[in-house]
């Protein structure tokens, strides 16, 4: 019989257990040794490295935006400033129901209902403890209304911020420009280190062109934060003392313009809201004294942010309030170029001081039945060059046009600055066109259209056809006439001031190539004819200039923008308002020693002498001390 083995082998089990304990103990000691070694490495050998990283997680660097420089007029009056304004802000983590809160804010008219989806997206995309701006600038009434209801809106409050403000609103909107929110194009072209903490930059006018001076340099400060990145108060000064020194923001420079608030206001009021532009400058140094484009807009809307509907309303307005007519609007100059063409004709021998023409109210080229009509249907009768300027006789200039030739017209008119950028110190200027035979060859593809025709020379002699100039160019030309050929580059900025030291750098006048006319008597003759335009017995603008307390000179112009059939007469009443002639006028004063030159364009104003000339006269009155609000 076989013997059965015992059910349990205690000796084997004990040996197995002891072996497992030994192995587990060895593994545990090895692992504990590795952990201990790692702790020693972290806490002893790498202590400085991780202490620095820990400090970095606890200390946050916050950008301090610079204060933007101010902009003043020539008399030191602020026309662009920084004002503390209250902004309505929402902190998402403190709001239980953001949708309900936003809807209730819209119900009490603190925000627009259309903006709620955007605010909801902003509150969900950023860190929950960072505020979301709901309204950039609150009125006193809005602040008072919200203060009463503040307990109903936990997590919503108003905070003081610094925002750009334009106290004269639409008066300087185009010349000074405005600031707007940074966009992707700005990020690509700007030095981002200077814009840390800054949300706006100059978009147009002086604000854009002198951005480098106005912006300043950003600073920074160190803040103590908790693990979630929220600011906390430091328990000891030891930590703060160990931090690097904060960098103070450097404010931008102040800009002083040559513009005058009072003169700007007179020019703007004189336009009476009509579409047009006024430019006045000092012919002795090129300083721009007034620069008005009408209609205008409130630049504060861009500085504090506007709704999409507000922007679309401006953008789609048929009167183009956002369009700067002073430097971007191009118009046929009409008869305002006649004094310049008279000098060109005298200098080239195309006419002389005694030549007379018989103005019957129209002119015809030899062998052509087409009639080029004078503005006066029955004609002016016998006229010489002086009469042709004083009475603005078109026929006289029609007759001398082919003797003068389009290329001579081009050469002399461009000497006065027409048809080319004046290089004023703000961006966006358009050059315009003073045509020539070469210009036409280069701008038309069809060979027949590349030819220059005699009829095109005829209409060019009265500032029509392809010819286009800006109001600024006309003002420069008027100043050049008053200066007898001496030219200066126009500029808006008169000085740049260091905000901290108060030191100013004055902008020096920049001379341009003069208009050389060898015979000084030609200048006397033509300028005297311009004087007669305003203060002569038969001048087209004598109703404006007669009886003035100072002597002046000017030239009216009327630019046709739609063709009138040969068998029809011009009748403004039968035309749509936007099809009527443009009204232009250039002038300078005082006559013997010009201090101001003015150019005016009134779109569809019909009469240069009747509509544009009174505006020029009002501007000159104000500057010379004879206006209603002027100080002699």
Q: Are 421 and 431 in contact (CB under 8 A)?
A: yes
Check whether 257 has a pLDDT greater than 60: yes
What topology is assigned to 261-308+323-624 in CATH? Beta-lactamase (3.40.710)
Left (φ > 0), alpha (ψ -120 to 50) or beta: where does 75 sit?
alpha
- Residue in the block written with tokens 């002498």: 609
Sequence ranges of the domains in the chain: 62-165+217-250, 261-308+323-624
- Shared fold status for 62-165+217-250 and 261-308+323-624: no
Active-site choice (253, 258, 335, 401): 335
SS3 430: coil
Check whether 630 has a pLDDT greater than 60: no
The mean pLDDT value of the chain amounts to 87
Q: How far is CA 344 from CA 190, 406, 409, in A?
A: 47, 11, 7
Tell me the C-alpha distance between 486 and 537, whole Å. Answer: 29
Check whether 241 has a pLDDT greater than 90: no
SS3 246: coil
CATH assignment of 62-165+217-250, among 3.30.450.40, 3.90.1310.10, 3.40.50.300, 2.10.77.10: 3.90.1310.10
Using one digit for the tens of pLDDT, what is the confidence trace for 451-472?
999 999 999 999 999 999 999 9
Tell me the C-alpha distance between 176 and 523, whole Å. Answer: 36
The mean per-residue pLDDT over the stretch 245-259 comes to 89
Q: Are 460 and 406 in contact (CB under 8 A)?
A: yes
Asked about 335 being catalytic, the answer comes back as yes
Find how far residue 435's CA is from the centre of its chain.
Answer: 28
Q: Crossing angle, helix 406-415 and helix 338-348, to 10 degrees?
A: 120
Neighbours of 463 (CB within 10 A): 28
Tell me the C-alpha distance between 250 and 231, whole Å. Answer: 25
Of the candidates 144, 190, 276, the one whose C-alpha atom is nearest the C-alpha of residue 613 is 276
Of the candidates 311, 315, 293, 292, the one whose C-alpha atom is nearest the C-alpha of residue 301 is 311
Check whether 231 has a pLDDT greater than 60: no
Residue 157 vs residue 69, higher pLDDT: 69
Tell me the C-alpha distance between 404 and 341, whole Å. Answer: 9
Of the candidates 517, 509, 511, 508, the one whose C-alpha atom is nearest the C-alpha of residue 485 is 517
Torsion of CA 391, 396, 402, 405, to 10 degrees: -30
Q: What is the pTM of this model?
A: 0.83
Cis peptide, bond prior to residue 126, ω within 30 of zero: no
- Considering just the CA atoms, what is the radius of gyration of the chain in Å? 37
Residue 288 vs residue 222, higher pLDDT: 288
The mean per-residue pLDDT over the stretch 435-446 comes to 94
DSSP string of 391-415?
A: TT-HHHHHHHHHHH-HHHHHHHHHH
């Amino acid at each position: 019989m076989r013997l059965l083995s015992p059910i349990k082998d205690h000796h084997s089990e004990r040996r197995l257990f002891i072996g497992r304990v030994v192995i587990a103990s060895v593994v545990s000691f090895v692992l504990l040794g590795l952990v201990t070694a790692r702790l020693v490495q972290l806490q002893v050998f790498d202590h400085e490295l991780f202490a620095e990283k820990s400090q970095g997680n606890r200390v946050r660097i916050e950008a301090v935006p610079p204060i933007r420089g101010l902009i003043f007029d020539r008399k030191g009056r602020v026309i662009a400033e920084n004002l503390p304004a209250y902004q309505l802000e929402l902190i998402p983590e403190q709001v239980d129901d953001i949708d309900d809160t936003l809807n209730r804010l819209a119900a009490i008219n603190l925000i627009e209902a259309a903006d709620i989806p955007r605010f909801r997206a902003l509150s969900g995309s950023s860190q929950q403890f960072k505020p979301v701006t709901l309204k950039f600038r609150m009125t006193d009434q809005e602040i008072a209304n919200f203060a009463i209801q503040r307990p109903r809106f936990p997590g919503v409050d108003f905070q003081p911020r610094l925002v750009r403000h334009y106290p004269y609103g639409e008066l300087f909107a185009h010349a000074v420009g405005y600031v707007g929110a940074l966009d992707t194009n700005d990020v690509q072209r700007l030095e981002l280190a200077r814009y840390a903490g800054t949300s706006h930059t100059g978009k147009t006018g002086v604000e854009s062109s002198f951005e480098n001076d106005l912006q300043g340099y950003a600073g920074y400060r160190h803040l103590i934060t908790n693990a979630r990145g929220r600011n906390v108060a430091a328990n000891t000064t030891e930590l703060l003392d160990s931090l690097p020194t904060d960098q103070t923001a450097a404010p931008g420079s102040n800009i002083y313009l040559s513009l005058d608030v009072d003169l700007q206001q007179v020019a703007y009021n004189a336009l009476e809201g009509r579409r047009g532009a006024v430019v006045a400058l000092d012919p002795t140094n090129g300083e721009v004294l007034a620069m008005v484009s009408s209609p205008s807009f409130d630049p504060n809307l861009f500085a504090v942010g506007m709704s999409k509907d507000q922007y679309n309303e401006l953008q789609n307005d048929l009167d183009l309030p956002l369009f700067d007519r002073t430097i971007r609007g191009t118009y046929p100059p009409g008869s305002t170029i006649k004094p310049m063409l008279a000098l060109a004709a005298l200098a080239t021998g195309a006419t002389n001081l005694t030549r007379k023409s018989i103005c019957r109210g129209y002119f015809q080229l030899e062998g052509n039945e087409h009639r080029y009509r004078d503005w006066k249907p029955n004609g002016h009768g016998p006229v010489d060059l002086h009469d042709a300027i004083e009475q603005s006789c078109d026929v006289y200039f029609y007759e001398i046009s082919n003797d003068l030739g389009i290329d001579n017209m081009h050469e002399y008119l461009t000497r006065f600055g027409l048809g080319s950028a004046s290089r004023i110190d703000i961006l966006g200027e358009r050059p315009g066109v003073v045509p020539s035979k070469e210009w036409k060859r280069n701008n038309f593809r069809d060979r027949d259209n590349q030819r220059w025709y005699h009829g095109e020379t005829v209409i060019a002699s009265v500032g029509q056809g392809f010819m286009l100039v800006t109001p600024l160019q006309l003002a420069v030309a008027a100043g050049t006439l008053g200066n007898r050929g001496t030219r200066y580059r126009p500029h808006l900025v008169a000085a740049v001031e260091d905000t901290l030291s108060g030191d100013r750098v004055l902008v020096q006048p920049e001379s341009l190539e003069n208009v050389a006319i060898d015979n000084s008597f030609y200048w006397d003759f033509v300028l005297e004819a311009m004087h007669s335009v305003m203060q002569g017995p038969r001048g087209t603008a004598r109703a404006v200039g007669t009886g003035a307390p100072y002597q002046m000179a000017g030239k009216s112009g009327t630019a046709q923008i739609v063709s009138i059939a040969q068998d029809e007469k011009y009748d403004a009443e039968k035309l749509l308002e936007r099809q009527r002639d443009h009204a232009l006028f250039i002038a300078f004063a005082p006559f013997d020693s010009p201090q101001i030159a003015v150019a005016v364009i009134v779109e569809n104003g019909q009469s240069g002498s009747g509509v544009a000339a009174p505006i020029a006269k009002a501007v000159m009155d104000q500057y010379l001390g004879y206006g209603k609000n002027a100080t002699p």
